[in-house]
Structure 1
Amino acid sequence: MSVSTSSPEKGIRVVTVDHPPVNALPVTSWFALADALRTAGRDPEVRCVVLAAAGRGFNAGVDIKEIQAHGRAALIGANRGCYEAFSAVYECEVPVVVAVQGFCLGGGIGLVGNADVIVASEDATFGLPELDRGALGAATHLARLVPQHLMRALYFTSRTVTAAELHAHGSVWRVVAREQLQQEALELARDIAAKDGELLRLAKAAINGIDPVDVRRSYRFEQGFTYEASVSGVGDRVRDAFGAEGPGR
């Protein structure tokens, strides 16, 4: 099962992604993740959602092997699935805390960039290797984590930044040892869940309403160029060169 949910404490729902070996999600899992997040947010008993992942890394993006095997149909599915999952994080009716360990790449940036608070382990790294994988997208979300020019440098080079660097930019709340990650995320969620549930939902809607960029429309715009790269053949050419290096982006 790629996506599971649990309720460790009153008011807190934990959504966990577990898709070995690197949490590079197939199309169905992106939609399953979106459904789990929306279900959690609609539950009147839930006041905070923690999004976590099992394994050595938080998320390696989409399953490139699935796209290579099934072509444009899988690409369209991945685009739609990512859009739904990223939107589900952003639109969740209560605050979403993400707990990030290891690598957070591609689609992982979309999830983290749309979250409300980020807690990360000391070994966490964040990046968009899209240009190395024959794709585009999630610059919208990376721009919520770092200043504009750094976002562009990271995007064009496919380089990563550490949790400590993001903490210095103010986008990561806490950086802790990996063995303390879940505890730290739950402690923060506990503080949030102690607030009035109705007021929390109003606060989430209010904060989303004053965002200077519509993240859903902005990301959808980016996806058009991802599809253009595929139709023109350049996406397939780069993905084929990526080859056996790994399944995720």
Structure 2
Amino acid sequence: MPISTQHPEPGIAVVTVDAPPVNALTVRGWFDLADEVTAAGRDPATHVVVLRAEGRGFNAGVDIKEIQRDGGFDALIGANHGCAAAFSAVYDCAVPVIAAVQGFCLGGGIGLVGNADVVVAADDATFGLPEVDRGALGAATHLARLVPQHLMRALFYTASTIDAHQLHHHGSVYAVVPREELDETALTLARQIAAKDTRVIRAAKQAINGIDVQPVHRSYRFEQGFTFELNLAGVSDGARQAFLEKGA
């Protein structure tokens, strides 16, 4: 199963993405991730969720091969709706979500991490949006939650990456540790949250979301509208195919 949930300790749910080779998720994978995170938060026994991944990197975004295999727009529309569902599930989860990031965190990975409550990262973690190189737009909403506005614009326009230490400097990554310590670091933080009165923590999650200055659901859907325009113009298809041929 590409998405699974374990309960290693009382009060802690660990949702793991394991979709080799690079954790690029299919349409079904994005919806399954949304379902797992939502279900974990709805369980009264869950006090905190850790979102992690197996493999070389945390997440490489959508499965471009799936989109290119589709002769129409069903896979593209599905990926957009699936990403929106997964990002929303993290943001709207009834309990805090800790993202534990290793290796690459790209595209949709930024959407997940940007909507998480706390981010811990391995010292090899890098973050970025290659969207403009793929003929698409999206997740600038979430990158803007990780870095200041003008840096977000520079990273977005150039499709550049930023490392975990830089994000720690900006305060959006809580801790940077060696990769072998990543899971235990996330669990240590999760234990601290899980030990609190879950009624208070659940209320706090609602309160913090309620005073958020960024309307993450609306702004992300606004971005997606431009992706649809680029696809209708034929720009995105050519960029995706060039990416696949380059990697072949």
TM > 0.5: yes
**2:61 corresponds to which residue?**
61
Question: Which residue identity is paired with 2:243?
Answer: F
Give SS of 1:98's match.
strand
Give SS of 1:44's match.
coil
**1:33 corresponds to which residue?**
33
Question: Which residue identity is paired with 2:86?
Answer: A
**2:221 corresponds to which residue?**
220
Q: Greater RCO between the two (CA within 8 Å, min separation 6)?
A: 1
Give SS of 1:228's match.
helix
Superposition deviation, residue 246 in structure 1:
4.7
Question: Which residue identity is paired with 1:234?
Answer: V
**Alignment of 1:112 onto 2:119:** no
**1:243 corresponds to which residue?**
244
**1:43 corresponds to which residue?**
43
CA distance in 2, matches of 1:64, 1:231: 17
In structure 1, the gaps of 5 or more residues are none
CA distance in 1, matches of 2:94, 2:157: 34
Superposition deviation, residue 79 in structure 1:
0.2
Give SS of 2:60's match.
coil
CA distance in 1, matches of 2:93, 2:46: 11
Give SS of 2:124's match.
coil
CA distance in 1, matches of 2:230, 2:153: 19
CA distance in 2, matches of 1:235, 1:33: 25
Superposition deviation, residue 31 in structure 1:
0.2
**2:9 corresponds to which residue?**
9
**2:188 corresponds to which residue?**
187
Q: 1:44 to 1:245 in 2, by over 3 A?
A: farther
Give SS of 1:41's match.
helix
CA distance in 2, matches of 1:90, 1:161: 22
**1:96 corresponds to which residue?**
97
**1:148 corresponds to which residue?**
149
**CA offsets per residue over residues 142-165 of structure 1, 9 Å max, x none?**
000000000000000000000000
TM-score (norm 1): 0.98
CA distance in 2, matches of 1:243, 1:24: 13
**CA offsets per residue over residues 72-117 of structure 1, 9 Å max, x none?**
1100000000000000000000000000000000000000000000
Question: Which residue identity is paired with 2:103?
Answer: G
Moved over 4 A (4+): none
CA distance in 2, matches of 1:51, 1:231: 34
Q: 1:235 to 1:92 in 2, by over 3 A?
A: same
Superposition deviation, residue 6 in structure 1:
0.2
CA distance in 2, matches of 1:246, 1:206: 45
In structure 2, the gaps of 5 or more residues are none
**CA offsets per residue over residues 169-199 of structure 1, 9 Å max, x none?**
0000000000000000000000011110111
TM-score (norm 2): 0.98
